[in-house]
Amino acid sequence: MSLLDAALRVERGSFRLDIALSVAAGETVALLGPNGAGKTTALRALAGLTPLTGGHLRLDGRDLTEAPPEERPIGVVFQDYLLFPHLNARDNVAFGPRRHGVDRRAAHAVADRWLERVGLTGYSRRKPRQLSGGQAQRVALARALAVDPVLLLLDEPLAALDARTRLETRGELRRHLAAHPGAALLVTHDPLDALVLADRLVVVEQGRVVQEGDAATITARPRTDYVARLVGLNLFRGHGEGHTVRLPDGFTLATADPVHGDTFVAFPPAAVALHPTEPTGSPRNTWPAVLADIQRHGDSLRVSLDGPITVAADITPAAAAQLRLEPGVEIWVALKAAETRAYPAD
Amino acid sequence: MRKRRGGVPLPLLLPAAVGLIFLVLPLVGLLARTPWSSLLTRLAEPGVTQALRLSLWTSTLATLVCLVLGVPLAWLLARVEFPGRRLVRALITVPLVLPPVVGGIALLLALGRRGLVGSWLDSTFGITLPFTTAGVVIAEAFVALPFLVISVEGALRGADTRFEEAAATLGATRWVSFTHVTLPLVAPGIAAGAVLCWARALGEFGATITFAGNYPGITQTMPLAVYQTMESGDLEGAVVLSLILLVVSVTILAALRDKWLTAP
């Protein structure tokens, strides 16, 4: 049973957002997508800050399609937090409860409790400009949660933090999201945030949902180039004919999984092997390629290869030295059928 | 902000210096002609304190009137899209370009005993505004209001409206959002506008003398007293009154500046 049931349609100039979302109680869903995909528009539409041009919004059985933002039981953590600069941390958190008719004392008590939960006891009298990025993020979270929202919205909650604070805050945020009894929707362009924080991912591109599912499914079976890049896989789409997939330009890839019809083939860059001459032996995909680019990628090197198909390969620095790899070098590419994953595209 | 090193270009320095001299020289002239020996006795004259008190009182009331009417007007112009908004904005600046005397005549035609609204006020409530202290306040508010509206509207446009959105998601209605978020955020702009407005009201002459007349104790504010003293041939008296007005207004402005207009 889903707590949030929404069909969001927003048209603005040439941009068109049209997505359906449902989130269950206690569930955290990540809306993942590239910049300009419409993620923030979706969040603003849910909060009532951007009017819908169509669709509906039901939350906990209540129809909120036409409700103004102040009447929606929805808490928002904004990307740059938007803590009220003239109020201290405690009054920022108490702002919501006060607006919901809680008297000053009780609201302050609620605020103190929330500041304690986010580990900011002792910071209640600090003004936002006296807080670090991580602290401000926690106050913003406390402020949004202090009104006991049925739905919690988070817009790129970690984007404004430096790498180190981000790591700590991500862990804390995960704990708070797990403790939140309502639904939570997280907007992010960072796949790591989405994978760590969310139970389910909804991938949005150009205003539409292109894929949704749990982290395991999304990472194993990407369905768009964007998702494939996010999870670090080579992805091709073609026509399955038993154990081969014919790509639109005629190139064929041998696969271990038997497939028929419209098919995706995915394989990790680490499965791609490079050889100075045409390899012989076991049944595998081989083709000649030209090296386009080399970049560091963790402990290994990521190599971009042009040829009949464009793929990425991960190799060790030692192998790269042995093969004398540099842009423009001609090389043979090998890929075992067993290392590919093929799955239907429709 | 860091200042750039290097000399100030002459084409900027020269006019700046002339401008400064142009502003300061008349004040020096005033000080040079001040009869310092008889200053204290002049100050004690009943007419002087009366006019000064009336000036401070009416200009403060006029500023309050401007705040009550002008802040909402500025909010409307800054935050609400409505047809004719540009026209309204143009209308608000009219008192700025209108000679104050003309403004006074216009006020008489609108609020005078036979005026558009004035005749109704008179017949229904028995209220007459011209040639009363209330009339002084109205005349001053009329010329000072545009200063307040323009500076508050500028402050509102400069304020991030997303704070109001954040307030809305926390359950604040638009009104509460205005009083609890917008107003505190633009408070420095409002204070600056109010000071400007008060200074304009304090120096008001033309509209006041036309609409409210020049009755000592009732409508004779300091600028009017200066003018009358000057007209009666008492230059020395006019100089003294001018000096008092100058000292009082500069003192008050300096005090306000320290209290409100500097960043905390």
Q: Where are the domains of chain B?
A: 55-260
The partner residue sitting opposite B171, judged by closest CB among A49, A86, A100, is: A100
pLDDT (0 to 100) of residue B263? 46
Domain A234-344 in CATH 2.40.50.100? The answer is yes
Mutate to test the interface with A, among B165, B170, B177 (most CBs of A within 10 A): B170
Choose among A182, A119, A179: nearest CA to A153: A182
Per-residue pLDDT of chain B (264 residues; tens, 9 = 90+): 455 666 889 999 999 999 999 999 988 988 888 888 878 887 778 888 899 999 999 999 999 999 999 999 999 999 998 999 999 999 998 888 899 999 999 999 999 888 889 889 888 898 889 999 999 999 999 999 999 999 999 999 999 999 999 999 999 999 999 999 999 999 989 998 999 899 999 999 999 999 999 999 899 999 999 999 999 988 888 888 888 888 888 888 888 777 655 544
pLDDT-derived band at A1 (thresholds 50, 70, 90) equals low
Query: Per this entry, what is the length of chain A?
Result: 346
pLDDT (0 to 100) of residue B4? 62
- Is A240 near chain B, with CB under 8 Å? no
Note the pLDDT tens digit of each residue in A272-312. Answer: 989 888 887 665 789 999 999 998 888 889 999 998 999 99
Note the pLDDT tens digit of each residue in A7-23. Answer: 999 998 889 999 999 99
Q: Is A9 exposed, middle or buried (0-12, 13-18, 19+ CB in 10 A)?
A: middle
Q: ipTM for the complex?
A: 0.83
Domain A2-227 in CATH 3.20.20.150? The answer is no
* Chain A residues close to B166, C-beta within 8 Å: 76, 78, 82, 84
The partner residue sitting opposite A82, judged by closest CB among B166, B172, B187, is: B166
- Is B53 near chain A, with CB under 8 Å? no
Mutate to test the interface with A, among B162, B164, B169 (most CBs of A within 10 A): B169
Note the pLDDT tens digit of each residue in A20-58. Answer: 999 999 999 999 998 889 999 999 999 999 999 999 999
Choose among A85, A147, A139: nearest CA to A117: A139
- Is B165 near chain A, with CB under 8 Å? yes
**Mean pLDDT to the nearest integer, A187-201:** 90
Note the pLDDT tens digit of each residue in B171-194. Answer: 999 999 999 999 999 998 999 899
The partner residue sitting opposite B171, judged by closest CB among A70, A84, A86, is: A70
Domain ranges of chain A: 2-227, 234-344
Question: Are B27 and B246 a contacting pair, CB within 8 Å?
Answer: yes
- A327 has a pLDDT exceeding 90: no
DSSP string, B175-206: HHHIIIIIHHHHHHHHHHHHHHHHHHHHT--H
pTM: 0.82
Note the pLDDT tens digit of each residue in A152-178. Answer: 999 999 988 888 888 888 989 999 999
Torsion from C-alpha of A217, A222, A227, A231, nearest 10 degrees: 70
- Is A96 near chain B, with CB under 8 Å? yes
Strand extents, DSSP E, B13-160:
none
In this structure, which amino acid lies at residue A346? D
pLDDT (0 to 100) of residue B147? 93
Residue that has been written with the tokens 């204290």 in this structure: B40
pLDDT (0 to 100) of residue B264? 42
- Is A100 near chain B, with CB under 8 Å? yes
To the nearest whole number, what is the mean pLDDT of chain A? 91
Superfamily covering domain B55-260: MetI-like (1.10.3720.10)
- C-alpha distances (whole Å) from A163 to each of A168, A195, A237, B116 are 9, 17, 35, 69
CB burial readout A135-148, b (16+ within 10 A) else e: bbbbbbbbbbbbbe
Does A234-344 match A2-227 at the fold level? Answer: no
DSSP string, A56-101: EEEETTEE-TT--GGGS-EEEE-TT----TTS-HHHHHHHHHHHTT
pLDDT (0 to 100) of residue A2? 85
Question: Are A81 and A142 a contacting pair, CB within 8 Å?
Answer: no
pLDDT (0 to 100) of residue B176? 95
pLDDT (0 to 100) of residue B259? 65
- A265 has a pLDDT exceeding 90: yes
E strand or H helix that includes residue A234: strand A234-246
Torsion from C-alpha of A185, A190, A193, A196, nearest 10 degrees: 110
Q: Do B184 and A76 touch (CB under 8 A)?
A: no
